[in-house]
Structure 1
Amino acid sequence: MLRRTFTLGSLAGLTAAFASLSPDAQAQASRPGTVDKAVVDELRSVGASYRRSYKSFPASSLVPVAHHQIQLVASLRPKDQPDHLRTSLLAHMAEMAALAAILLSIDLGDQEQADAYSDLGYQVAKEIQSPELCALLLGGRAFGTSYGGDPEGGLDYALAAVDAAERGASTRMLAWTHAVASEMYSSTGDEHGFRTSLEESRTMLSGPMDDERWGGIAWFDESKASAYEGSDLLRLGKYEEALLSLDQAIDKLGPEMLRHRCTAHIARAEAHAGAGHVDAACQDGHAALDLVARIQHRENLRRVGDLHRKLRPSKTAAIRSLGEHLTDTRSALAAAGSPA
């Protein structure tokens, strides 16, 4: 199936993917036969850098990169390689499929294409029997399903991700899947489920780590756990409590984590609005829009639009300014070719 799907990938895509390799690796990878382990290791290293880039790179830049990497793996004929190389190549393919899926779903709003990448990645992850990547793909699918209007289905995917992680994923991946489950519980109104899952996540984070096995996108740590907590409390209508967690998250999130800071700012804006702090809500709305313009996060742009519509009846100068910024951001993203 993989060969049939991707062998006919574009020449431009393969050229771009080969360009990411060193000259020695390019020469070796272009020859027929068994791929050298050094080439595979270099591919995995390149893939790890792309997954880290999720923190700050525009979605429209990273999706083609991930797709080109999938094409490159297919061109190296993983099916014909020795088992240890085959598994490593296919793991790289699944990681790139997961990256493309989450960007297309949450950032660019193309759920159909996101599901196609997610399905590909999950089938590959199952084929190589990787609990790490199965958990990653199922957790990512939880977001798209819940945001698409099916919170109960999102919870099902999140709990499946936890189950997969418990079969042998890294400790940090297990912590992340519990945090995803906390968000899905809060989306269904289940406060006990949210608090129990988040406590499990923090318990995992407080123990010893085996981060050489981490196959996730970007990173997950206590700052992200605080961001999940704040967003979960927001969904449950506990605005003042949410603000405390979101303040902690924004203080702790590194400056390079643009995508995560963007989401935390719009969540804090919504919490301020719920608590009746209009000017503070607008201030965080501006901060979120500044970051949306850099990373092309369509879901957060939609949330700022919803926030502005909620606040607009008050007709203050701060709300009018937020509306102007919203319009400017939509225009800038449209001019850049990103859906707005």
Structure 2
Amino acid sequence: MSHDHQNVWTGRHVFALRDNALRLTQTDFAQRVDMSPFTISKYERLGEKFVLSGRYAKKMDQALAGLTDDERHRFRDALADDDQTITLDPGIDGVAAEEVDLVALGRRGFLLGMGIGIVPATLTSQWLSSTGQVPVWLAEGLRSTASTYRAAYRMAPAAQLLGSAHSHMQLALALRPGDQPEPVRTHLLTTVGEMAAMAGIILGLDLGDWRNCAPYLRVAEHSARESGNTELQAVVMACHAFQAAYNTEGDLALGLDYAEAARAIAAQGASPITRGWVAAVASERHADLGEVRVSLSLLDEARIALDAGPVEAIRYSGIGAFDTAKLTAYEGSNYRRMGEFNKAVNFLDAALAQLDPSLRRHRATALIDRAEAHRDAHRIDAACADTRAALVLVAATGHTGTLDRALTIARSVRHTKAREALDLWNDALAARAAVTMAR
């Protein structure tokens, strides 16, 4: 490679240029090279499997030529094999940051990083050296346990569930998926991907730690791709959509790009539940952008997918639950986003009547959506009642995303001096203190 020319540009080189050398978001980098964020995302997602064509490679060469010496060093260092690691900071007291080796992630390249702390790695290594291979029953059991953890997201406290997801991911990594034959390799990679995706979502949506969410989602994406699991790839891409739209520098257009990418992947063989869910996620992103017709058509697409029923050969890899009740809640939320508050309340009434009490996070989200619709329709008492009900569920789950929305509502109605508004403000402050202490 010359100073201003790369012989071959792959998605991996694009990532090194954007993230390591220039330290830009996908949106900012796309503007610099005159391309769309979705295209940049696609290149990086495919990594070494994707080679850029002539005119797009030339755009990258032009960006490369403009690097400073420090940026050029970072670019070269990022492409050195021994430096392709991702640092994971789970944000749990007493747990050191870990490194997961992601060098190329070849068919036999997904190995345990050196810094493992949660898993008794020395015992695991001794067992592996004496037995050689992980039995199928153990790999299947780990995947089954991962399914239980994903179901627990409906109601379990965020901080505790994060610890479980992180340690279960590390346990699967400690069994060295890259050294295992099929089907053990796929079971372990799927377990890693599912737990990394859930850890990323908990960090972002529940705990508001978007910086540490991203590395987990990258691990999940690599694991899903290497396992060849279309279902999991679609789930992870939808998780990226949440991260893009809701992080501290939220980019709604980029969130939509990820959601549409999730739909495209899901259409290639994901379960009906996941096809329905990613369509609902895409509908939400279109609603954020005021695209009413497309948003409503995607809700119909989600409904059709759910009506298709389960496919036994496809194992669901989603987080929490998605059914007709949750779809109804999405519809109500979308109408709220589009300013049709009475319609929103009607759909959210129906959703809350159907949502199982165990679905604490889902019910809290529906309640806060309905509270915002009531507030914007100037029904302050109803808004306060729904917000207080949501705060009870927030205290149980530690979902700071809903807590932040509740605090915003409490702050916005406080000026009314109504008894309900003052009580809500006190309850919101108490909930914030309780959630902060629990973390």
Say whether the fold is shared (TM-score over 0.5): yes
Separation (CA, whole Å) in 1 of partners of 2:111 and 2:274:
31
Paired residues for 1:58-207 under 5 Å? 58-148=157-247, 149-207=250-308
Aligned to 2:364: 262
Q: CA deviation at 1:310?
A: 1.5
The match for 2:385 among 283, 303, 306 is 283
Match of 1:303 among 383, 405, 418: 405
Query: Residues of 2 paired with 1:147 and 1:99: CA distance?
Result: 16
SS of residue paired to 1:14: coil
SS at match of 2:183: helix
Distance 1:287 1:32 in 2: 53
CA distance in 1, matches of 2:420, 2:130: 61
Q: What TM-score does the superposition give when structure 1 sets the normalisation length? A: 0.92
Equivalents in 2 of 1:189, 1:133: separation in Å? 29
Q: How much has 1:314 moved relative to structure 2?
A: 0.9
Range with greater deviation from structure 2 (38-47 or 1-10): 1-10
Cα deviations by residue, 1:272-301 (Å, 9 ceiling, x for unpaired) = 111111101000010010011110011111
Calculate percent identity across the aligned residue pairs: 38
2:119 is aligned with 1:14: yes
Question: Which shifted more, 144-153 or 96-105?
Answer: 144-153
1:309-328 alignment to 2 at 5 Å?
309-328=411-430
> What is the CA–CA distance in structure 1 between the aligned matches of 2:221 and 2:426, rounded to whole Å?
42
**How many residues were matched structurally?**
327
Kindly provide the amino acid, as one letter, of the partner of residue 225 in structure 2. K
Q: Distance in 1 between matches of 2:369 and 2:272?
A: 27
- Cα displacement string for residues 211-263 of structure 1 (whole angstroms, at most 9, x for unaligned residues): 55211111110001011111111111110000011001111110100010111
Determine whether 1:239 maps to 2:338: no
Higher relative contact order (CA 8 A, sep 6+): 1
| C-alpha distance in structure 1 between counterparts of 2:204 and 2:419, whole Å | 34
Contact 2:391–2:428 (CA under 8 A) maintained in structure 1: yes
Equivalent pair of 1:6/1:71 in contact (CA under 8 Å): no
Give the deviation of 1:30 after TM superposition.
9.2
How far is the alpha carbon of 1:197 from its aligned partner?
0.5
TM-score computed with the length of structure 2 as normaliser = 0.72
Residues 100 and 30 of structure 1, relative CA distance in 2, 3 Å threshold: farther
Q: How much does 1:334 deviate?
A: 2.0
Instruction: Name 2:146's counterpart in structure 1.
Output: 47
Instruction: Show the counterpart of 2:38.
Output: none
Partner of residue 252 from structure 1, selected from 354, 377, 381: 354
Q: CA deviation at 1:8?
A: 2.1
Partner of 1:21: none
1:32 to partner: Cα distance:
4.0
Contact 1:7 1:75 in 2 (8 A): no
Structure 2 contact 111–173 (Cα < 8 Å) conserved: no
1:5 and 1:84, CA in 2 relative to 1: closer, same or farther beyond 3 A?
closer
CA RMSD in angstroms comes to: 1.9
Tell me: CA distance 1:31–1:194, structure 2 relative to 1, closer, same or farther (3 Å): farther
Inter-partner Cα distance in structure 2 for 1:5 and 1:116: 16
Contact kept? 1:73, 1:90, Cα under 8 Å: yes
2:318 paired with 1:216: yes
- 8 A Cα contact 2:190 2:224, kept in partner: yes
Matching residue of 1:22:
none
Matched residues in 2 for 1:32 and 1:311: separation? 64
Question: Hey, what's the Cα distance between the residues in 2 that align with 1:5 and 1:82?
Answer: 16
Q: Is the 8 A contact 1:176 1:201 kept in 2?
A: yes
Distance 1:29 1:65, change over 3 A: farther
Shift in Å, 1:306: 0.9
1:100, CA displacement in angstroms?
A: 0.4
Q: Distance in 2 between matches of 1:133 and 1:275?
A: 40
Distance in 2 between the 1:316 and 1:15 partners? 56
- In terms of fraction of residues, the more helix-rich structure is 1
User: In 2, distance between residues paired with 1:163 and 1:234?
Assistant: 27
* Amino acid corresponding to residue 171 of structure 1 in structure 2: P
Task: Quickly say closer, same or farther: Cα 1:30–1:167, change in 2 above 3 A.
Answer: same
Shift of the alpha carbon at 1:319? Answer: 0.1
Q: State the distance in 1 between where 2:171 and 2:237 align.
A: 24
User: What is the SS of the residue equivalent to 1:83?
Assistant: coil
